[in-house]
Amino acid sequence: MAAVAPLPQPELAATYEMPVEQVSLLQDAWNRIRRNRLALVGACIIALLLTTAIVATFWTPYPVWLQAVGPTYQPPSAKHLLGLDQAGRDILSRIMGGATITIQVGVGSAIIVSLIGIPLGLIAGYYRGWVDTAISFFINIWYGIPDLLVALILVFVLSDALHLIPRGVFVIVLAFSLTRWMDVARLVRGQTLALREREFVEAARMSGARNLRIVARHILPNALGPIIVQATFAIPAAVLFEAFLSFLGLGLPSPTPSWGAMAADGYHGMDFAPHIVLAPTIALSITLMAFNWLGDGLRDAFDPRMRH
Amino acid sequence: MTRGTVSYIGQRLILIAVTTVLVSSIVFLLLHQIPGNAFLNETRTSPQSLAANLHHYGLDLPLPQQYVNWFTNVLHGNLGESLKNRGVFITPLLIREASVSATVGFFALLITIGLGLILGVIAALRQNTWIDYVASSASVVGYSIPSFVLAIFGLLIAGHYFYIWTGGTLYYVPGWGKIEQIPVPALALGLPYAAYVARLTRASMLETIRTDYVRTAWAKGLKPRVVVIRHALRNALIPVVTILGPLITGIITGSVVIENIFGIPGLGKEFITSILARDYNIVIGVFTFYAALVGLANLAVDVIYPVLDPRIRY
């Protein structure tokens, strides 16, 4: 009698399908963005800008407002790397101070734009019906206006004419956000409309989750990627708006080292002292470029169509 | 023109009218919240003449009455009278200035679309050659440089360095009235958007030239010009047209600062001048004008759509 061959033991590892490596949203995005050289350059420039902004809040080579630290209109030298402006202020210090303003305006606007746009988009997309119709109508109306010019009038009315809010970073951020929240709102609305039909939302509803919980825990986290991208693109737009306003003399008041205002200062002496106008405009252009590159990289990284 | 298209355009025109009236009403009400009156900053005036001034402009009426008057006038195409220069009526003034702005804007748009399309198509057709690299890097840098920075560079190079290099024979003088004063502002206004259009065209051209129908067109032995322009570009244009609306808004907004830098007597210069001079009637007027313009530009873009893509119908 032949010995009964032992039953082959199933190999444990083979019976279970190895789960696909779990990657979180942010990690996946990071893996993708690492391969995008332009986005990395942008991120490095932004890191430098952030460092400069933080350093400048505590220390600059000369106080940003201090006049006559040397001869006016002095071109760049070893002592003053970017030269001196028409009032004899150190331009390097002012560029550094301008970095702080830029970061405040950019990040502040991204936050407020999201604070306005995300709830409106979520409500419109989740409840649909007349709420959606109303909000969408509002969004469409808002799209049809020259937004920067409304923002410009808002800044002027709120701070110059009514003296409600002192002319400063906050009023600029507020005016910008009030006229530019539609991009985020429209995006979130679209995402919510698509996500609310998905199985996991249904499952959550079946298990008795309330609307607020579904929106906050299931829909919003899944829409986060595109929201981050949209908020990133709001930063250069806000920075440009601030520079545009300050250049026209309607933005930050005079001693504030805003890049736009510095460009306006230097613009009059351009023929004989081009360094005054070149420093802030180049700084502004590089900053905008860095944010746009990072934004493009993030958009490619978070684009669900590209995944796997 | 189907019946659907006509009713669509009709609906949009109504929406544009509503938007324009709504937004300019907000601006009207905002500007009328400002305490004091428009004549306070001037040299000392007797109470009688101040009252006469206020009465002349109807500013002594209660606000709702002022609003109704303004609204009725706007519906009749009358935007009112300048507060600072009595006797200057705003509608003809703005129409005159709008023609100046439109000239600059037209050439800027020409540069944007012409240059953007040409660069984008060439970069896509010569993908991964030096031509592509040069065009792509130029556009990736160009679309981040704001037009007012380009304007400053343009003024510095064309106005100052050209004078030195050519010994004063060929250089740009800021101002308006001569043909040779058009290119520099138009370039400053159009180039950033041209870079953007080039990027977009390249991406969508790369997609289209790999489609089956383009391969078929090549296989049929059609001339390259016909394949590229009639088969590939026409379809590649659709995503480009989507951004034309924001682009025109951008050019209109950009013209505000460009006109101030180059001293061009257009709407944008008027807008800033009157804000700083507190001539609120003109501010409201220019704004109403702009709101209508932006709406109409967007409508024009939407009407172009079905021409390019017959699948889109209204």
What 3-state DSSP class applies to B258? Answer: helix
CA A291 – CA B146 distance, rounded (Å): 13
Chain A contact present for B251, CB below 8 A: no
% of chain A with per-residue pLDDT over 90: 43
Q: Reduced to 3 states, what is the DSSP secondary structure of residue B81?
A: strand
Residues of B in contact with A146 (CB under 8 A): 249, 252-253, 287, 290-291, 294
The dihedrals phi and psi of A270, each to the nearest 5 degrees, come to -60, -35
B300 at A interface, C-beta within 8 A: no
According to the 3-state scheme, what is the secondary structure of A232-256? HHHHHHHHHHHHHHHHCCCCCCCCC
Residue B219 CB-half CA count within 13 A:
7
Q: Up-side HSE of residue A96: CA atoms within 13 Å toward CB?
A: 21
Residue that is written with structure tokens 């009455």 in the block: B65
Give the containing element (helix H, strand E) for B222: none
DSSP string, A182-199: HHHHHHHHHHHHHHTTSH
Closest alpha carbon within chain A to B163:
A271
Rounded to whole angstroms, the Cα distance separating A144 from A146 reads 7
pLDDT at A307: 42
Contact of B97 with B266, CB cutoff 8 Å: yes
pLDDT attached to residue B162: 86
The answer to whether B27 and B283 are in contact (CB under 8 A) is yes
DSSP string covering A27-79: HHHHHHHTT-HHHHHHHHHHHHHHHHHHHHHH--SS-TT---SS-TTPPP-SS
Nearest by CB to B156, which of A146, A270, A285?
Answer: A270
Of the candidates B230, B266, B307, the residue with the CA atom closest to the CA atom of residue B95: B266
Q: Are A133 and A160 in contact (CB under 8 A)?
A: no
Closest-CA residue of chain A to B295: A144
Report which of B196, B221, B231 is spatially closest to residue B125, judged by C-alpha positions.
B231
ipTM of the complex: 0.85
A/B interface, count of CB pairs below 8 Å:
107
Cβ pair B146:A248 closer than 8 A: no
Tens of pLDDT, residues A45-78: 999 999 999 999 998 898 888 888 888 888 888 8
SS3 label, residue A138: helix
Quick one: tokens of A182? 């539609």
Distance CA A141, CA B85 (A): 34
Of A171, A217, A172, the residue nearest A195 (C-alpha): A217
Between A167 and A177, name the one with better pLDDT. Answer: A177
Identify whether the C-beta of residue B160 lies closer than 8 Å to the C-beta of residue A270.
Answer: yes
- Cα A148 from Cα A154, distance rounded (Å): 10
Taking CB atoms and an 8 Å cutoff, what residues of chain A touch B149?
A: 263, 281, 284-285
Whether chain A has a CB inside 8 Å of the CB on B243: the answer is no
**Cα separations (Å) of A297 from A110, A228, A256?**
17, 12, 33
Q: Name the band, by pLDDT with cuts 50, 70 and 90, for residue A306.
A: very low
Q: What is the dihedral of CA B208, B209, B212, B216, to 10 degrees?
A: 130
Burial class of residue A58 (count of CB atoms within 10 Å of its CB; 0-12, 13-18, 19+) = exposed
- The per-residue pLDDT for B278 is 83
- Would the CB atoms of B156 and A274 count as touching at under 8 Å? yes
Tell me the pLDDT of chain B (314 aa) as tens digits. 677 788 888 888 888 888 888 888 888 888 887 776 666 655 667 778 778 888 888 888 888 888 898 889 888 888 888 888 888 888 899 999 989 998 999 999 999 999 999 999 999 998 888 988 888 888 888 888 988 899 999 888 888 888 888 887 788 888 888 888 888 999 999 999 999 999 899 989 998 888 999 999 999 999 989 998 888 888 888 888 888 888 888 888 888 889 998 989 999 999 999 988 888 889 888 888 888 888 888 888 888 877 777 777 66
pLDDT at A281 over 90: yes
The answer to whether A248 touches B260, Cβ cutoff 8 Å, is yes
Q: What angle (nearest 5°) sits at the alpha carbon of residue A292, between those of residues A111 and A186?
A: 50
Contact across the interface for B23 and A263, Cβ inside 8 Å? no
The per-residue pLDDT for A256 is 87
Measure the CA–CA gap between A289 and A276, rounded to whole angstroms: 21
pLDDT, tens digit, for every residue of A182-197? 989 999 999 999 998 8
Q: What is the pLDDT of residues A125-172, one digit of tens each?
A: 999 889 999 999 888 888 777 888 888 888 888 887 778 888 889 999
| CB A180, CB A234: distance < 8 Å | yes
